[in-house]
Amino acid sequence: MHFAFPLILLALESATLAHAALFFLQPASGSSCTGGSPCTVSWEDDGNSPLLGAIGVVTAALYTGEMQLVQTLAPIDVANVLSYKFTPIPGAGPNSDTYYIAFTSTSDKVNGTSYVGFSPFFTLNGMSGSFASPLSTATASISVAASLTKQSGTILPTTITIGSIDTSESLATFVPSTSAKPKSSSSSSSTSTPATSRFATTSIPPSSSVAPASAVGTSSAASRFILPWRLLLLSLCAFLFIS
């Protein structure tokens, strides 16, 4: 059991690297916030798939350990807003450096599972609660506002509740808008493309070079047939000239 928590921390750090499409700028690794005071969460698109336009509306929460819910946060559309503030509830947990934020997409799927982005670990000071006794008022579900689900190309229920995210077909058939803005700081690979392009299939049309190739083959065959007759004719002319 003494090794379990370090392994969990390592797994979460690995998950942060593996799901790097949504890159958290704040809270940064080793940074701190204070219970009862606003704490800024900000992010950017690092140009990897899925892009922010595909991730879309996310449910957000403050966690510790192995996805132990500490406090639910307001849902946000990460494609249209790149930062927001929340106030840690002091009674939601103790002073600790094992807190992290997780964003769970209500639309984008990775191998059939909702995309989740993790922030680095950060510290919360000025806390007075306990992880062993979760604060019910801090972990209460927060519904997604209907206005967040009206972005172009979205097919979502009008309300999604944190803790019981609907994984029905209406979420899986989300078609992201192709107008998601690319970030000027990103490389050229950050140009927004529809997420559905990852599932697009292409067929290679028959090459138009086939016909010319066959024509060349016919021409060369004909030249091989004509060449002996030319030699025979030249030989006959030489014989007549000599005689």
Domain boundaries, the chain: 4-196
pLDDT in tens, the chain (243 residues): 444 444 444 444 444 434 457 999 999 999 999 999 999 999 999 888 889 999 999 999 999 999 999 999 999 999 999 999 999 999 999 999 999 999 999 988 878 889 999 999 999 999 999 999 999 999 999 998 888 876 533 333 333 333 333 333 333 323 333 333 333 333 333 333 333 222 222 233 333 333 333 333 433 444 444 445 556 666 676 667 676
Residue 81 DSSP SS3:
coil
Q: What pLDDT, on the 0 to 100 scale, is given for residue 168?
A: 35
On the 0-12 / 13-18 / 19+ scale of CB atoms within 10 A, 36 is: middle
> pTM of the prediction?
0.56
| CATH code matching the domain that covers 4-196, chosen among 3.40.50.300, 2.60.40.1930, 2.70.98.40, 2.170.190.11 | 2.60.40.1930
Q: What pLDDT is stored for residue 156 in this prediction?
A: 36
State both tokens at 48: 């990897």
Q: In degrees rounded to 5, what are phi and psi of residue 109?
A: -120, 140
Q: Which residues pair with 179 in a beta bridge?
A: none
**Dihedral sign computed on CA atoms, order 72, 141, 105, 70:** positive
Output helix, strand, coil percentages for the chain, rounded to the nearest 5: 30, 25, 45
Looking only at the bridges linking them, the beta strands covering 122-125 and 32-34 are parallel
pLDDT of 101 reads 98
The per-residue pLDDT for 216 is 37
CB of 88 within 8 A of CB of 62? yes
- C-alpha dist (Å) from residue 3 to 14, 91, 131: 17, 28, 19
Torsions phi, psi for 240 (to 5 deg): -65, -35
